[in-house]
Amino acid sequence: GKILPGVPIWIGGPEVSYDSPAVLQRLPEVFGVMKGEGEETFRELVHYYMEGGSLEKIDGITYRGEKGQILDNPWRPVMDLSKVPFVYHDMKDFQNKIVYYETSRGCPFSCSYCLSSVDKCLRFRDLELVKKELQFFLDEKVPQVKFVDRTFNCKHGHAMEIWRYLIEHDNGITNFHFEVAADLLNEEELKLIESMRPGLIQLEIGVQSTNEQTIREIRRTMRFEEVARIVQRINQGENVHQHLDLIAGLPYEGMESFQKSFDDVYRLHPEQLQLGFLKVLKGSYMESQKERYGLVYKSRPPYEVLYTNWLSYEEMMRLKSVEEMVEVYYNSGQFSYCLRKLEEEYASPFVLYQELGRYYENHELHLMSHSRITRYEILLGFVREKHKERERLYRELLTFDLYFRENVKNRPEFAGEHEVSKDWLNAFYETESKEHQYLIGYEAYDKRQLRKMTHIEKFHYDVLGTCEEKEKFILFDYQNRSRLTHQAAVTEIETE
């Protein structure tokens, strides 16, 4: 506005669509608002500025008339989704970027915090078109395609056909990400999912809360028992990365209730547990109830909640610290064996992450960024402070977790001395290069290469099992990693 005062400014998006006349009153520098879906409206506006014509014939806009009065044109009918142009042509611009793709718009649910439910019209892109476009991504070997459909599996036939196509045309590389309602997945879909290559798809499942009163109040339809059953079933296939979401700051969810929601979801052991904070969006039902809920939130986008009638600001800050710890320790997948044992020391998983967060704050560790190895050392420091008598066990679990992920060349200090003698290793690899009892698929390599490509660690505890004191030699095999988590295959070596 200041640099090019003559240029008319148009804005659009959910942020300004539902109260466009008020937006223009509030922002005198803006000339007009595009309401609702913008694809066709924007094209007609460009035509108007290039070729002339009249603004009053364009549906879906609110703008200033000749005399400065605000004119509000009718909303545009929702568009045919198959008419939206496909924007990806030259994939050079998208190298190493996530590609976003849409096959349906709208949502059958009416969650009060979400804007997808304001426009009730659910529609789908033509499946033949979708297949052609997915084939383009597959041919280009795009690393990840993220479907932005709000509830991908709300129409059974649509989801099935796309998933079948992906299985039949899988290029072994591309991963497809879907937001689904887990409790809507039926037997046919589950069987299909079980047949997929590990890493072909990943699922994002919004649980938000397991408090029934909260779920009712936010107008969600979700049966947590059913979600839990399905998530556990998919877990057993070990081929699909599952990402479960919670939202802090919802009505009727205080600290105690949120802790229960967290623990409920954590016990399902998803690959990722996302702890989000409520965003109070303009035009949502949630916003209209803000007085009733005592919702106080930031005035700038994304309008994140600060406190509610049920959660104080201090508690919200505590949850922020839990979120940070879950991100670093749980979601990174780098500490799985250590955490599994550490959880047993606490009343619940939530309490563990809360204590970890406090430890970071007490030692001012939250003020700086840390390398991956430092994160292991910090966790050991936490154990030293809280569970001194089991420090040796946790040191071994952390060493296991470290080698489980990668064949570290520089052994970090916390792992202590490497206790396997050179003679023992020589004898093992000598035998192995002839017999291949443990290292299947390494037939082409000599014993020196075998030794480089694998790692053997001596433990004094049964780290893979009960964690009781027991001497164990464990072989980490980095050629045969899990296709889902990329963790090494591990085998216990039988010693006389």
DSSP 128: H
Would you state the structure tokens that stand for residue 182, as one six-digit string?
A: 């887990």
* Residue 279: DSSP 8-state: B
Nearest to 462 by CA among 401, 414, 374, 396: 396
Tokens of 382: 């936490």
Residue 120 has a pLDDT of: 66
- Token output for 225: 């028992």
Please report the pLDDT score of residue 93 as a whole number: 83
CA count, 13 A, side-chain hemisphere, 487: 17
Q: Give the C-alpha separation, 220 to 229, whole Å.
A: 19
Distance CA 404, CA 419 (A): 17
Number of neighbours of residue 400 by Cβ within 10 angstroms: 23
Tell me the per-residue pLDDT of 299-354, one tens digit each, with 9 for 90 and over: 998 999 999 999 999 999 999 999 999 999 999 999 999 999 999 999 999 999 99
For the chain, the straight-line distance linking the first and the last C-alpha, in angstroms and rounded, comes to 81
How high is the pLDDT of residue 119?
A: 64
pLDDT confidence of residue 328: 97
- Using an 8 Å Cβ cutoff, are 242 and 206 in contact? no
Contact 304/297 with Cβ under 8 angstroms?
A: yes
pLDDT score for 3: 82
124's CB contacts (< 8 A; 6+ apart) are 81, 103, 104, 155, 158
Following CA atoms 234, 239, 241, 246 in sequence, which dihedral angle do they give, to the nearest 10 degrees? 10
Q: What is the DSSP letter of 483?
A: T
What pLDDT shows up at residue 96?
Answer: 81
Question: Please, what is the angle between helix 187-194 and helix 156-168, to 10°?
Answer: 20
Q: Which residues contact 92 (CB under 8 A, 6 or more apart)?
A: none
Per-residue pLDDT at 477: 96
- pLDDT score for 238: 94
Q: What are phi and psi of 169, to 5 degrees?
A: -115, 20
A 10 A CB-CB count for 8 gives: 12
Cβ pair 346, 355 in contact under 8 A: yes
Residue pLDDT tens, the chain, 496 long: 678 888 999 999 988 998 899 999 999 999 999 999 999 999 999 999 999 999 999 999 999 999 999 999 999 999 999 999 999 988 888 888 899 999 999 988 999 999 876 666 899 999 999 999 999 999 999 999 999 999 999 999 999 999 999 999 999 999 999 999 999 999 999 999 999 999 999 999 999 999 999 999 999 989 999 999 999 999 999 999 999 999 999 999 999 999 999 999 999 999 999 999 999 998 889 999 999 999 999 999 899 999 999 999 999 999 999 999 999 999 999 999 999 999 999 999 999 999 999 999 999 999 999 999 999 999 999 999 999 999 999 999 999 999 999 999 999 999 999 999 999 999 999 999 999 999 988 999 999 999 999 999 999 999 999 999 999 999 999 999 998 899 999 999 998 6
pLDDT tens digits along 88-108: 988 888 888 899 999 999 988
Closest CA to 404 of 480, 343, 347: 480
